[in-house]
A and B are shown apart, each in its own frame.
Chain A
Amino acid sequence: EPEVTQTPSHQVTQMGQEVILRCVPISNHLYFYWYRQILGQKVEFLVSFYNNEISEKSEIFDDQFSVERPDGSNFTLKIRSTKLEDSAMYFCASSGGDVRDPYEQYFGPGTRLTVT
């Protein structure tokens, strides 16, 4: 069964450094998402991406964040200058490959980002 993959599984970085989190969505999906879950808190929406542009973003997704689909298969989340409060599990999701079921989002295993 096709699945969403994410790399790395765990990333440790120092405050102020740039990080890029990578995702490979399911190949025939059209919508891509990033969510995050700070330890002990709920899963929060960050951004959605469709047709090579951001379709929606939350207030969390400020100028420090950016997304890109550089090569038609990868979907990346970049944090330009990480802060301690960016430490969280980041989940990628994709949806929209089946016109009968466009709203189900398939999640990747997550990347645990630790900012020190």
Chain B
Amino acid sequence: AQSVSQHNHHVILSEAASLELGCNYSYGGTVNLFWYVQYPGQHLQLLLKYFSGDPLVKGIKGFEAEFIKSKFSFNLRKPSVQWSDTAEYFCAVNGVEYGNKLVFGAGTILRVKS
């Protein structure tokens, strides 16, 4: 069965620090990969996605992620975080062979100190 692992449940950073959130998946097929963000009191919003092509994808608000197929990873990065990046971040995977449902990781709560 497909699964998604996020390495850290809680991350605390100071403003301007660099961010990397780990995501690994277990999936036997062609995958689509996503990072969603949930700001406090708000709904899930798509940060970025990978379907095919360039494994380095850029999303909104300065976020990027790199798909490394050999490592089954899709880590999220941002060179310099802001206080407004405080949120919960979810990695998710789906694939045509598995009916398109999204399988989510457990989420990483990021707190940025100002």
Interchain residue pairs A-B with the least CB separation, the first 9: A109-B43, A107-B44, A56-B99, A43-B104, A45-B101, A42-B106, A103-B32, A42-B104, A107-B43
Q: Are B43 and A31 in contact (CB under 8 A)?
A: no
Q: Are A95 and B49 in contact (CB under 8 A)?
A: no
Q: B6: shortest Cβ distance to chain A, in Å?
A: 9
List residues of A (87-116) whose CB comes within 8 Å of B's CBs.
Answer: 91, 93, 95, 101, 103-110
Across the two chains, which residue of chain A brings its CB closest to B92?
Answer: A43
Q: Are A91 and B101 in contact (CB under 8 A)?
A: no
Q: Which of chain B's residues have a CB closer than 8 A to the CB of A58? A: 101
- Give A residues with C-beta under 8 Å from B: 31, 33, 35, 41-45, 48, 55-56, 58, 91, 93, 95, 101, 103-110
Give the size category of B's interface with A: 20 to 34
Across the two chains, which residue of chain B brings its CB closest to A50?
Answer: B100
29 contacting pairs across A/B (C-beta < 8 A): A31-B100, A33-B101, A35-B104, A42-B104, A42-B105, A42-B107, A43-B90, A43-B102, A43-B107, A44-B104, A45-B102, A45-B103, A48-B100, A48-B101, A56-B101, A58-B101, A91-B44, A93-B102, A95-B100, A101-B51, A103-B51, A103-B94, A103-B96, A104-B49, A105-B102, A106-B46, A107-B36, A107-B43, A107-B44
- Give B residues with C-beta under 8 Å from A: 32, 34, 36, 42-46, 49, 51, 90, 92, 94, 96, 99-107
* With known contacts A43-B90, A91-B43, A109-B42, A103–B100 Cβ distance under 8 A: yes
Report which of B51, B90, B92, B99 forms a contact with A48, defined as CB distance below 8 A: B99
A103 to B94 Cα, complex, angstroms? 8
A52 to B35 Cα, complex, angstroms? 29
A45 to B94 Cα, complex, angstroms? 11
Q: B2: shortest Cβ distance to chain A, in Å?
A: 11
